Homo-oligomer: A and B are copies of this chain.
Amino acid sequence: MKNLVSMKELSVEQIIAILEQAEAFRTGAASTLISKYTMANLFFEPSTRTKMSFEMAERRLPIDVLPFEAGFSSTLKGETLYDTVKVLEAIGLDALVIRHEQNNYFEELIGNVKPAIINGGDGTGNHPTQSLLDIFTIWQEFGTLEDKIVTIVGDIVHSRVARSNAQALTRLGATVQFVCPPEWQGEFETINSFEEAIETSDVLMMLRVQHERHDGLASFSKEAYNKSYGLTVDRERRMKDGAIIMHPAPFNRDVEIASELVECERSRIFKQMENGVYIRMAVIEMILKGRE
């Protein structure tokens, strides 16, 4: 593995290897990286958890991190992403985490630049480390993904999480199904009954209504969305024993999930974030070792 831009390029064996290394980091293993590396995190879209999670993972390995302020860089002088990356290559950076609003921004980079590219999210495209941490969280819970029913609910067409997860979960043996308002369905096939899915799913993965990507809730009010597609206290009660709630966050309390469920017993929302650090440590280590 020389880069990580989408889940498609990972084999099932590679995914399992990442999960196992993440679990090793979680239980206290130290990195076996030998050389000293320097990375930078190029976030051209706002982020708290993904950026901070990478920053933490990098420091724990440990890897030196150069600060990159997207809002105060030469991008303002019209520099292209390719040229910015070439600059960072010349300066000596070994790997770059990039989040960028343009789908597949990485296509012009892979093969043409020396630093490893780790995709931190491209437009409505991919978000592979989020997908890996979701898989890790389910794997940790059930010991396997085989035959697990994962229902992804909400704004799937704008969600890089839905896309990345759809690819990978199925290959690992899970059944993935989607629930969403018709206008956010896109190329995905959806099921009709959210109410039935609540009772049969092992995992309910609620997606964020992305106010910044479309004008409000389309034809919905927050209340109407919550009523039709939100995880309410009433719906949570009908989930099957041992079933868990996930959300990539940030979440809109009382829109896609009831505020009191965010930290409930079934919720793995903050566990996902904790797992993100171990997954990112594993991914970075594996990529840098693949280049040693």
B-binding residues in A (CB < 8 A) = 38, 40, 43, 46-49, 52-53, 55-56, 59, 64, 66-80, 83-84, 86-93, 208, 211-212, 249-253, 262-263, 270-274, 276-277
Contact = CB atoms under 8 A, between A and B. Distances in A.
Contacts of A79: 48, 250
Contacts of A87: 48-49, 52, 249-250, 270, 273
14 contacts: A40-B52, A43-B72, A46-B73, A47-B72, A48-B73, A48-B87, A49-B87, A52-B66, A78-B250, A78-B252, A79-B250, A86-B270, A87-B249, A90-B274
Contact of A73 (B47, B83, B92, B273): B47
Contact of A52 (B55, B88, B252): B88
A274 B55 CA distance: 24
Contacts of A86: 263, 270
Nearest to A44: B72
A271 B77 contact: no
A168 to B, nearest CB: 22
Given A66-B52, A76-B46, A91 B274 contact: yes
Most buried by B among A40, A90, A276: A90
Given A47-B74, A66-B56, A83-B251, A270 B89 contact: yes
Given A72-B43, A72-B46, A74-B46, A91 B59 contact: no
Nearest to A275: B90
A173 B91 CA distance: 29
Nearest to A255: B78
Given A49-B87, A66-B59, A83-B250, A274 B92 contact: yes
Contact of A77 (B43, B55, B250, B270): B250
A236 B216 CA distance: 53
A91 B46 contact: no
Nearest to A64: B59
A32 B191 CA distance: 59
B212 A91 contact: no
Which 6 pairs across A and B sit closest by C-beta, in order of nearness? A90-B273, A48-B74, A90-B270, A79-B250, A48-B73, A74-B250
Contacts of A250: 74, 77-79, 83, 87
Contacts of A80: 253
A55 B74 contact: no
A133 to B, nearest CB: 11
Contacts of A252: 78
Most buried by B among A46, A53, A211, A262: A46
